[in-house]
């Protein structure tokens, strides 16, 4: 994220529109991703290794809606605070948004292993290892996001005093934003995921057309994998479309000091990057049957029909209704 082009007086209607849009995105992000978390909790069929990573991605997006977006709104208002307080807020935004692409990379690796080694997958990628992978992704996003706090910032470069008007590029180094955040944290994982999913689709196509693929059980397995892989690639595509424009204009601002970006366009790119966190639950509902069915059952049990029913009884019956799905492969 950058607010480099927003220095100076901002038109009040534009600022109000931006804040209103951010609030809507935050609410949609929280509602949608908390629904994903709820679905994984009540449906044992969504508690396989892949869905643990999807659960973790949803939690990261919840944090974006609950923490990152409100902080972004505060920064856009240019409140005064200490340099390191402002730097920490900006690092927190980076840390939470970077978590999404790290979890997406973990999901891509999981899908690659499931297609490449279907026989050994269940014994190799256990729930415990999936949870360990999720913890590793969390720690990695924290470390990468807090790197500016370790010295890669603008205080000495710009000779900034302790109390400042907090803006993103006042404290954050554009070299960190472009060379590290864009090229290393965003672009490199995207290229890795592109290679992994290309290999996944090639393998599935090969298996479906081979002699082995003509076996009904094997063919059904790979057809299911193909459908889920397509859904995950759609999520990856949405992430790319939402996130690439902002780093590109950051790179342009670093290499072209005379280039100008209209404030309205910049705000649009910022909103687009934040809106990505609200999109994944929509993809799950439209593309993944287990999520779609679970969302509908949650609506039936907890929203539309429990006014006079004990919640614990409803929860128990909901879990029981999903038990049959536990034996399904993801």
Strands (E), the chain: 80-82, 163-165
Lowest mean pLDDT among 1-10, 158-167, 229-238, 259-268: 1-10
Cα separations in angstroms, 193 against 117, 138, 140, 201: 18, 18, 17, 12
Task: State both tokens at 315.
Answer: 């929860």
Beta-carbon contacts of 245 under 8 Å, excluding residues fewer than 6 positions away, are 269, 272, 273
Rounded to the nearest 10°, the torsion over CA 243, 247, 248, 254 is 170
Instruction: Determine the Cα–Cα distance for residues 234 and 107; give it in Å rounded to an integer.
Output: 13
Average pLDDT over residues 267-282: 91
Lowest mean pLDDT among 130-134, 209-213, 235-239, 279-283: 209-213
Number of domains in the chain: 1
Domain that holds residue 299: 4-327
What does pLDDT average to over the chain? 82
Can you give the pLDDT at residue 306?
Answer: 52
What is the sign, positive or negative, of the torsion defined by CA atoms of 150, 151, 155, 156? positive
Can you give the pLDDT at residue 7?
Answer: 43
Q: Provide the β-strand partners of residue 80.
A: 165
Can you give the pLDDT at residue 205?
Answer: 80
Average pLDDT over residues 173-201: 90
Can you give the pLDDT at residue 3?
Answer: 40
Can you give the pLDDT at residue 6?
Answer: 46
Instruction: Determine the Cα–Cα distance for residues 327 and 330; give it in Å rounded to an integer.
Output: 9
* CATH number, domain containing residue 261: 1.20.1070.10
Average pLDDT over residues 144-172: 82
pLDDT at 274 over 90: yes
Residues of the chain with pLDDT > 90, as a percent, come to 33
Beta-carbon contacts of 160 under 8 Å, excluding residues fewer than 6 positions away, are 83, 154, 170, 171
Residues of the chain with pLDDT > 70, as a percent, come to 84
Per-residue pLDDT reduced to its tens digit, 51-97: 888 899 999 999 999 999 999 999 988 888 888 899 999 999 999 98
Can you give the pLDDT at residue 309?
Answer: 47
pLDDT at 308 over 70: no
pLDDT band at 321 (very low <50, low <70, confident <90, very high): low
């Amino acid at each position: 994220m950058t607010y480099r082009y927003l220095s100076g007086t901002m038109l009040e209607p534009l600022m109000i529109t931006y804040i209103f849009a951010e609030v809507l995105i935050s609410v949609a992000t929280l509602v949608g991703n908390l629904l994903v978390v709820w679905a994984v909790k009540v449906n044992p069929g969504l508690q396989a290794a892949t869905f643990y990573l999807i659960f973790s991605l949803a939690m990261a997006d919840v944090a974006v809606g609950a923490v990152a977006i409100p902080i972004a709104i505060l920064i856009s208002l240019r409140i005064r605070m200490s340099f390191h307080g402002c730097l920490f807020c900006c690092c927190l935004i980076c840390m939470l948004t970077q978590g999404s692409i790290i979890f997406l990379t973990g999901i891509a690796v999981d899908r690659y292993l499931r297609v490449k080694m279907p026989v050994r997958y269940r014994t190799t990628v256990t729930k415990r290892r999936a949870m360990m992978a999720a913890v590793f992704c969390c720690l990695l996003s924290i470390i990468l996001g807090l790197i500016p706090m370790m010295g890669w910032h603008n205080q000495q470069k710009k000779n900034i005093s302790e109390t400042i008007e907090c803006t993103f590029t006042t404290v954050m180094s554009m070299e960190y934003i472009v060379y590290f955040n864009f090229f290393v944290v965003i672009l490199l994982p995207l290229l890795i995921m592109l290679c992994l999913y290309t290999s996944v689709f090639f393998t599935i196509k090969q298996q479906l057309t081979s002699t082995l693929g003509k076996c009904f059980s094997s063919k059904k397995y790979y057809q299911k994998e193909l459908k889920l892989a397509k859904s995950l690639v759609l999520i990856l595509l949405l992430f790319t479309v939402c996130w690439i424009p902002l780093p590109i204009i950051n790179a342009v601002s670093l290499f072209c000091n005379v280039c100008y970006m209209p404030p309205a366009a910049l705000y649009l790119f910022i909103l687009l990057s934040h809106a990505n966190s609200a999109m994944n639950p929509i993809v799950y509902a439209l593309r993944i049957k287990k999520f779609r069915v679970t969302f509908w059952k949650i609506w039936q049990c907890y929203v539309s029909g429990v006014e006079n029913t004990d919640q614990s009884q409803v929860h128990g019956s909901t879990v029981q209704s999903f038990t049959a799905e536990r034996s399904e492969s993801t």
